[in-house]
Amino acid sequence: MIEQLVQPRTEIGPNLWGPFSVAGRNALVTGGAKGIGHGIANRLAEGGANVVVADVDEQAAERAAAQLGDMPGRAVACRLDVSQEPVCREAIARCVEQFGSLDILVNNAGIFPTSAVLDMTPEFFEHLLAVNLKGVFYMSKAAGVQMRKQGTGGKIINIASVDSVHPSFPGLAAYDASKGGVLSFTKNFALEMAPYNVTVNAIAPGGITTEGTAQPLTGMSAEQMEAMTSAFLQRIPLKRMGVPDDIAKVAVFLASSAADYMTGTFVVVDGGMLLA
């Protein structure tokens, strides 16, 4: 469950984070109720950022925000389906209304059902793209408009995947198309937002144990899932699956002034899997 996946707080306070501090920043994390998104919300709040935990699962978002209750940063929950453009604009407005600005956007929400292309319906492909790629566009546009208006810069972090650059296994063609799109979108949007001092970067996680990956993927049996996980492990030089906090710490880095001169790039966080 979430408690096991999120790392405990470190002893140092946000005022000791130096260039990695996000204290006083206002952030929105899509898909922030569970998995990697919750890990990111946790570290941002620990670092003193105020966080909107935005998720299609409203109850899980409420629980996740409540869990962050004793962090230095404040957390509020918000229902958000990233595949719905007006709802994306409302979520950005909610962050501004609640905290006064939007300084950090983490586009994390994503789904990963599997299907062979030869069996894939147009509806399957369209839904996956609507959540994983159009959602990034809708949120980035709404955030970009707000950040340009604020005139104080900003950080946009997109959670892509190692599959953005190299396929993991068959059945993920639609997912890989979406995540390849996220990476290309990241690079071009970085060019567009550079004049406003808004950086746009991506993280490419490898195999991360989350609520989502703990479930058998749609279209896969439990046995196929277990075989896939063990095949995955064989390919990881660091010999373990990642945990959400492995991604969260890199997200905080990209959200902080330590990464001020990085834009349009991506950080691979995969235990060395792409080397294998």
Ligand X SMILES: NC(=O)c1ccc[n+]([C@@H]2O[C@H](COP(=O)([O-])OP(=O)(O)OC[C@H]3O[C@@H](n4cnc5c(N)ncnc54)[C@H](O)[C@@H]3O)[C@@H](O)[C@H]2O)c1
CB 254 within 8 A of CB 155: yes
Residue 227 per-residue DSSP state: H
208 binds ligand X (CB under 6 A): yes
Distance CA 74, CA 90 (A): 19
CB of 78: closest distance to ligand X in angstroms?
10
53, 32 Cβ separation under 8 angstroms: yes
Which among 17-25, 49-57, 90-98, 183-191 is the span making contact with ligand X, rule CB under 6 A? 49-57
Starting at the edge strand found earlier in the chain, the sheet holding 266-269 runs: 75-79, 50-55, 26-30, 104-107, 154-159, 198-205, 266-269
Decide if 175 is catalytic.
yes
Nearer to ligand X, 13 or 113 (CB): 113
DSSP string across 93-152: HHHHHHHS---EEEE---------GGG--HHHHHHHHIIIIIHHHHHHHHHHHHHHHHTS
Contacts of 159 (CB under 8 A, 6+ apart): 36, 37, 106, 107, 108, 110, 182, 202, 203, 205, 247, 251
Question: Is 216 near ligand X (CB under 6 A)?
Answer: no
Tokens of 233: 């492990």
Per CB under 6 A, the list member of 22, 111, 156, 250 interacting with ligand X is 111
Number of chain positions touching ligand X (CB under 6 A):
30
- Nearest to ligand X of 141, 148 (CB atom): 141
Q: How far apart are CA 21 and CA 80, in angstroms?
A: 27
Q: Does 80 bind ligand X (CB under 6 A)?
A: yes
Which one among 17, 26, 35, 173 touches ligand X, defined by CB under 6 A?
A: 35
Compute the least distance from the CB of residue 197 to ligand X, in Å.
26
| Contact between 58 and ligand X per CB under 6 A | no
Per the structure block, which two tokens stand in for 235? 């390919």
Binds ligand X by CB under 6 A, chosen from 34, 43, 94, 155:
34
Q: Decide whether 82 or 147 has the Cβ nearer to ligand X.
A: 82
Does 85 contact ligand X by CB under 6 A? no
14 vs 252, which CB is nearer to ligand X? 252
Out of 42, 108, 140, 201, the only residue in the binding site for ligand X (CB under 6 A) is 108
Does position 159 interact with ligand X (CB under 6 A)? The reply is yes
Provide the annotated active-site residues.
175
Q: Which residues bind ligand X (CB under 6 A)?
A: 30-31, 33-37, 55-57, 60, 80-83, 108-112, 131, 159, 161, 205, 207-208, 210-213
